[in-house]
Structure 1
Amino acid sequence: MAAATLRSVHRRNSLLPLFETCRLRDLFFFSSSSVDPAAAVGVTISPDPNFMVEYLVNSCGFSPSEAAMFSKPLAHLRSTEKPDAVLNFMRSQGFDGAGIRKVISWKPNYLCYNVEKNLAPKFQFLRDLGLSESDIVDAILKNHGILLFNVQRSIVPRLEMWESLLGSRELVLKHLKKTTRFFHSSVEKTLHPNLKFLRDECGIPEERLSVVLISHPQLISHKPESLRDVVARADELGMPRQSRMFMWTVNILQRVSKERFEAKVEFMRRFGWSESEFSSAVRKAPTFIGMSLDMLRRKMDFLINVVGYTPSFIADKSNLLLYSLQKRVIPRFRVTEMLKSKGLLTGQAKFPYILQLSDTKFLEKFVLPHKENVPELLDILRVEGVCKGK
């Protein structure tokens, strides 16, 4: 099964022709024939090794200090022929000045690339996948490593593997446009070992893993030793690997450093949580450890000082911390308090239950039946932007 996931011969064969039939002529507005740099129109030749600083300022819009820093890898250049060709090509493909500066700041040596050999094939390949000009710009700004990769040896295997894992080409292209560093990790050195570790050593079923990867593909994009460290942290929290929450816990821990995690432990200790209560709360609702300390403070203050819950109750019902304070917790609490003041809410409807209802269900059960007698309920929700036009 792992081999089938990692390599699909059918997909590989269907992708390679895209590379082999690149229509480079569609991408060029200049001739690829050899040109004498000295005779090329607009090309500057200079014996001054620092002339690239001025070039980056005038041609790209960098500040002098930025240009001085980014020019260091370009100190060997004595002509603007290649940089001019790269900049002209990038502009022809829809990159504006800010986008070009971003790409160059990541790797100034892109200005040394041969457009026909190093850049155009990648753009044509992405175009053949069905991406528009603006899509390609977004994909490269999120995953500039595409410009580094060989189409046949690197881009195709990555595309093939992610398509197998996520289940569709559309999802792969969506992440390519929106997810930073989605395409950076090596199949053989990173993706394959991480998948093998999670499946074979951790016992995570493939379908459960796929559910997490569809929304968080970065989970297997980090170095294998980093993933092992995060799994060990999840184990320390007492999260069973068989639990459906295990992979979500690993995912959030991967995005929260040990230092930030320990800061959350100490912060919640001040609210009265024991270490075991903190671990229990994370096992039930791991997402809350990704919140800022300020947001956690505001939620804990409201739930304790306004709603009246004890810290231990919140630890036991840690999903309470996941709801939006302004859009859900506060307006629904105000609605329930008003209903209680009118004698319209019995003690059977518990606030945690009320919070977990969808907006539609909440309106149907607690607002609309009383809108004639208590019109203020709709006003509360409109003020908070929860209810519009009801």
Structure 2
Amino acid sequence: MLMIRVSSQRPLGMLLRRSPLRMIRYFSSTLELPSDSYLPGDISSGTPLNVFTPKHDFSLRSTSSEVHDSIENPLSQGLTQKSIFSIISSSPRALELRFIRKWPNFFSELGRSNLSLSSSMIQKFLEQSVRFNVEPMDFVHNWQVIRSLGLSNDTTIRIFEELPFAFIGDGIDIGCKIEFLKKKAGVQLNEINLICQSYPEFLSFHINGRLKPLFSELYELGFSQEENRKLLLENPRLFLSLETGELSRCLSLLQGLKCRTSIKERILKLGRLRAALDLKLRIDFLCSYGLSRRDVFKILHVEPRTILYSLVDLEKKIEFLLQKIGYSIDCLVEFPDYLGVNLEKQIISRLQVVELLKSMGGLGMKVDLKHLVRLSRRKFYNLFVKPYSECEQIFGGSFGACIFDNSMKPKHPIGLWKLFKPQRYYNSHYDIRNMKGFMETMI
């Protein structure tokens, strides 16, 4: 049996501190916090000490009253039990007294601004101050600077949630970006609040490196300020995330579309800029599945109907392709017309017919994606459905019955052929005499 000799001058805690693994195992298996000492109120009972120990040895270097004060201070500021344990898990140093004692003045200063902070905001303030070693009054100063620009409380909180470094040190020049948008896009202050709440990340962009080239490209392509403003307010994230040259490439693709005139008119119905943004939205969506931008441009060039489908419909088609049919996303490069057909009316019904034939053993050929996508309805019916009456109900009845069904609207009205019958030409006596004279000269 291993015996440990403990000296009166060196307590057991000092010996265990030499080995972090032993220290964690010791406290996690033996010690628990008393219900009335470390944690105040109803959150103290049965709370294990290893909540503190694995991340930081603050609880070993502090007295019971210091640990109690470290948790009592943030609780008095509105922090919840869940937030406290989240802070301990991610940034244990945030609850040390030398940090906590700096924050009451900060929260009282914010309280004078009639700003109500949630527990998640207080938690983020504590974590960021420890992470960047920032004094609380730096947050207060930058907060007041941002508020002086005319931004609302909700907008300022939203900016801090996404860009906490804007409140650290000198921060970022938010006012310069706001004035740039007012000048170039013609937006008002209340609209600036909406843009910042929707996409606060644009405040971290450099004006000369990102924003100025974007608006210069827009004006070179012939788009007016009002058109830019309208689409900026409609989707700030999509509009401001455009890379330099990306809009020009989207417009060149739209200009070179080879499709039916009706499809092209539907794509460009709301204007060239709106069509280009819709195209970019679908490009980013397809790229999120692992396709390269080069392949996505090829797909959209061959199958422009993809632009007309919503992202929800495209997601259903791709998930059905990957999960149900079992193909990879790369097959869209070879079969881009899969994205342009109706999923319920064509793909699902044909796949059900093929699966039924497989279960019956009546499928004598390998069925590929081209059979589901590129075969016409009549050809697919003659090849897979017509020999098997069981498949007609799945496919929607026989092909002939579908054609002559009275409930279906015919392609052309009955009797339309009469309108295309050439008009009868009635010869006059003068024309007959001229033709006879011409024929007599040839005899």
TM-score bucket (shorter structure): 0.3 to 0.5
Give the alignment's TM-score, normalised by structure 2: 0.42
> Which gives a bigger RCO, structure 1 or 2 (Cα 8 Å, sep 6+)?
1
